[in-house]
A and B are shown apart, each in its own frame.
Chain A
C-alpha cells in the first residue's frame, strides 16, 4: 500500500464521510471533549461527540502536536469512533465501540527518524462518569491494528533529498497495539 499525502487526505476524508453518513445525524445530544492524557502529553486533542440513538454515539477527535516537551517530533491525526452504550443511554456508564485512526507522524527512535503515516482500526471500551448534568468524565482504552508506511532513516541522512526525483518510503507494515488510552472530559452543549 503506498501512502502519500494525496492518498492520506483521501483516506481521512473517506473515513469522515463513511462514519458521518452511516449513522443518522439527527438533533441529538452534542458534546465537545478533550483528552486530558493527550493534553498532558502536549499533544492537544479536541473532539465532539454526538448521540446518534438511545444508546449509540459518534465521536470524532482530532489531535496534533509539535515538538512535545522538546522532542524532535510531530504528529497529527484524527480518530473517529462509533460507540454503543451498554447502559442504554448515550454518554452514561459503560460503552464499547469501534474506531479508526489516521495519523501522520515524525518521531525520533534512537538514532533513527520515523516519518510516515498510519491508518488503523480497532475496538474501544470505556466508562463514563456523570460529574454533573453537562460534564462527563470518560475513561477509555482502544486497541487495534495499525498499518503504517514510513521513511526510516538515520539522523543526519539527507533522506528527503531525492536523487532520482522520487521520495519514497522505505518501511511499511502493521502492528497490533493500543491505539488510545485516555481520560476525556466532555461538556454536553445540548
Chain B
C-alpha cells in the first residue's frame, strides 16, 4: 500500500514534470515567423502614395506589455525615440512602404508617424497575420487586412514648417501648429520656444523670441496672479498673443478653449551674428496647465535650406557723388609743410637700447635719406617717444624719453643738424583710458559682429577696472590677448615729424606734372603732395584710372593726419572710396564711419570739434549718409541701413529708391507673418513690380525666386529667364530653380523636335559649323559676327585637338538625353561660369528637400551634367530653328496670292494675260 502510494506520488510528479515541459516548451519555444508588412497611405479619394510611408517607423517588442509601456509613456515620437533601449528595435519601411522582420509569434508592432507624434494601435503578431500585415492608413483610419480590428488613428498634433527666408543678416522662419480638440483645455497655456542652430556645428547659437497663447481660464487666473496687471508684470507678457489678424481692420481672439481645436502660426525672426553662415531653427512647444505638462514636443521649425531671393539682385542704387567744390580745398600753410612719420623701432625690453638688426638700421637710413632729400629746406625735426600704460608711469615716461633721445641721436649721426631746429625729445605715456578709446575705435571699424562684441566687452572690462581703481590688474587680466597686445604695441611706436620749407607752392599744372613725371612724388617717394595738391590733381585729371589712384593715395595720406575726420577734403575722399567699394561684392562699409555720428539726427549738421575747440565741422553729410545706407542695404544689414536711411530728407531721390528696396526686402522676409498688414503686403508687391520693371535681369530673378509668393506660373517665368544672355551664370541658376520641382516626372524630359536635325556637340564652345558659302555670307553681312564665330571655331578645334591627344572621342556625336535631371544640368552650367554659386546651391531653400534627397548633386558626375546641358541647349536651338522655319512658311503663305478653289474664272490679271495671249 505504501509502495503504491509512493509510486502514485512519483508518477504524478513525473507526469507533472512532463506536462510542464511539454506545455512549457511550447510556450518557451514560441514559433518564430518572418513578418512581412506594408504601409499604405491613401487620402479620402482613395489615391495611394507609398512615398508618404517613409514618414512612418515600425517598432517591435517581444511582449504586449513592453509595447503598451512605450505607447502609454510616450505619445510623442521625438521623446520616444530618445528613450533608452527603444530605438534599437525599429525598422523603416522601404521605398514602397514594405518591411520585413523576423519576430516570434506574440511579438507586437507599434507604428509611429514621425510627423504627427501619435502611435497607431498595437499590432500583435500571430501565425495567421505574420506574412501579410497591411497597415492601411486612410486619413484617420487604420485597418488591418485579415483581422476584424478596425482602429482609428488618434488625432495628433500637426506641425507645418514654412519656408526659411533670409537676406544679409536677417533670417525668418515660420511654423504652424494644429492642435486637435482633445489637447485643448481652457486651463492650459501653449509655450513655443524656438532656438537658432548653427548648421555646421549644430550648436545652439541663440534662443529666439518665444510665442505664448493662453487658454481663456488660464489667462484670467494668470492675470489675477499677476495682480491684475498681466501686461506689465508677467515676464512672458511681451510674447503673449491674444489675437490674430484676419484683415487690417479686424482681429479675432486667439485663445485655447475646451474642446475646440487650436491653429497657430508662429513667425520667428533671427538676426544672424555671422551673415555668411547658415542657421536653422529648432524648438519646442509645450502645452501645460497649472501643474502638469499636457504635451511636449520638439522638432525642427526651419531648415538650413534658405530662400534668399535677393542674392543675385542688381541693386539699382547708384552712389551719391559729392561735387568737388572749393569747400574741400586746403591751401598749404604758407612756406612750411609738416610731415608726420611713424618710427616703429624695436628696443630691448625695458631699456633704451635698440635691437641691432638690419630692419631697425634701415628705418633710420630711410628717414635720413628722406630728410637729406630736402637739402637745406628742413626747418625742424622732432621725435616723441611713446609708451603704453602697463607698468610704472614714471618708469615708462623716463624710458620713452630715453628711447626718443636715442632715436634722435641716431638721426643726428646720419645728418648734419647744425642748421636744423631739434627740440629736446619728448615722451608721452598713454593711459588706460587711451587704451579704452583705441579699443572703441577698433570696435567701430570691426565688421564681424562677434569680434566687435568681444572688443567692446574688453573695452568695458578695462573701463570697469579703471573706475574701480584696479588699473594695476588690467595688464595681468589681458596679457595673453593678441588684440590687447597689438593695441599696446601700437602705443609704443615713436612719432617723428619734420617741417620743411616749400620751394614753391605747387600750382595745379605743377602738381599734374609732378604726378606723372616726378619720381620723388611717386608712392613711397621722398616727397608727398599736400592735401591741396591732391585737390588740384582730382580737379585737373580726368582719366578714371588715375582718378582712382589719386583718391586712394590722398586717402592714405590724409587718414594719417591728426584730426583728419574734421577735414572736409577727407570726407570727400572717403565718399569716393565708399563709391568704389560699392562696386565690389564685399566692400568695406566702415570707411565712412569717422564722418558719421549716430547720435545726431538729420544730415549736414554742423557741430563743434570738441568742448575746447569751437571750430565747426560738418557731420553726417547727406551724400555720405546715403552711400552708407546703400552699402549696408546691399550687404544685407537691413536695420542698420534703415537707421541711416531715416536720417535722409524725404525729397532725396535716393531715399525713395532705398525705401523701395527696403520695403520689398522687409515684406518678402515677413511674407508668412500673419501679422503683416495687407496694406504693407500690397505696398511690398508694388515695390517688387517696380523693381522688376527697372531691369530685365531683376525681373527674371524676382519672378523666379518669388514665384510661389507672387503666384507666377512656370510659363510666365520662363521667357524672362530665357531673355538673359547665355553667359550669365544667374540665367542657368534660375533655370535650375525653375525646373527642379519637375525632376523625376514626365515634364522633365526634353525631346529633340523631329525637324530639329541631329544635335551637334560643340564641346560647350557655341560653335556652329557652316559651309563655305554660309561663311562668306556671314563675313559679308557682319565682320564682327564673323570674328566671334571664328573665335568659337578656334576654341572648338582646340578642344577637339586636346581630346584627340588624350585619346578621347573627338567626332561630334549626336547628343542624347542621358536621363540626368534637368535642374542638375542647369546648375552645373551655372557653376562652370561662376563656381562661387555652389555655396548658394548647397542651402537653396527654393528647392524641396525631397528633390535634393532623390536627385543629389554628385561632383564626380559633372561631365554627365555638362553633357545633358549641351543636349538641352541643342534642343532649345532646334526648337527655335523649327519655330523660325514655321513662321517663315506662314509668312510666305500669307504673302502668296490665293488660287480659286472651284476652277472658275481666274482673277482679272490672269484673264487679261490670257486675252493677250489669245490676241498674239
Contacts and interface: CB of A to CB of B under 8 A. Distances in A.
A140 interface: no
A88 B289 contact: yes
A90 B224 CA distance: 10
Given A87-B290, A88-B291, A89-B290, A133 B223 contact: yes
Contacts of B289: 88
Contacts of A51: 225
Interface string A16-28: 0000000000011
Interface in A99-158: 130, 133-134
A190 B227 contact: yes
Interface string A27-48: 1110000000000000000000
B221 interface: yes
Nearest to A188: B224
Contacts of B479: none
Given A87-B291, A88-B290, A89-B290, A190 B228 contact: yes
B290 A133 contact: no
Nearest to B220: A133
A169 B900 CA distance: 143
A133 B227 CA distance: 11
Contacts of B225: 29, 51, 54, 89-90
Range of interface residues on chain B? Answer: 10 to 19
Contact of B227 (A29, A88, A89): A29
B291 A133 contact: no
Interface string B871-893: 00000000000000000000000
B186 to A, nearest CB: 12
Nearest to B187: A87
Contacts of A74: none
B652 to A, nearest CB: 53
Nearest to A87: B290
Nearest to B217: A130
Contact of A92 (B221, B223, B228): B221
Residue picked from B224, B225, B227, most chain A C-beta under 10 Å: B224
A29 B289 CA distance: 20
Interface in A26-81: 27-29, 51, 54-55
A55 B289 CA distance: 13
Contacts of A188: 224
A188 B228 CA distance: 10
B604 to A, nearest CB: 52
A190 B224 CA distance: 8
A89 B228 contact: no
Contacts of B227: 27-29, 190
B291 A29 contact: no
A57 B251 CA distance: 38
A55 to B, nearest CB: 8
A165 B220 CA distance: 62
B222 to A, nearest CB: 8
Contacts of B220: 130, 133
Contacts of A54: 225, 290
A26 B220 CA distance: 21
A49 B758 CA distance: 94
Contacts of A87: 290-291
Interface in B189-230: 220-221, 223-225, 227-228
A54 B222 CA distance: 10
Nearest to B228: A190
A87 B223 CA distance: 16
B315 to A, nearest CB: 54
A88 B220 CA distance: 14
Contacts of A134: 224
B226 to A, nearest CB: 9
A87 B227 CA distance: 18
13 contacts: A29-B224, A29-B227, A51-B225, A54-B290, A55-B290, A87-B290, A87-B291, A88-B291, A89-B290, A92-B290, A133-B223, A190-B227, A190-B228
Given A29-B224, A55-B290, A88-B291, 20 more contacts: A27-B227, A29-B225, A29-B227, A54-B225, A55-B291, A86-B291, A87-B290, A88-B289, A88-B290, A89-B221, A89-B225, A90-B225, A91-B224, A92-B221, A92-B290, A130-B221, A133-B223, A133-B224, A133-B228, A190-B227
Interface of A: 27-29, 51, 54-55, 86-92, 130, 133-134, 188, 190
4 closest A-B pairs by beta carbon, nearest first, are: A88-B290, A88-B291, A190-B227, A89-B290
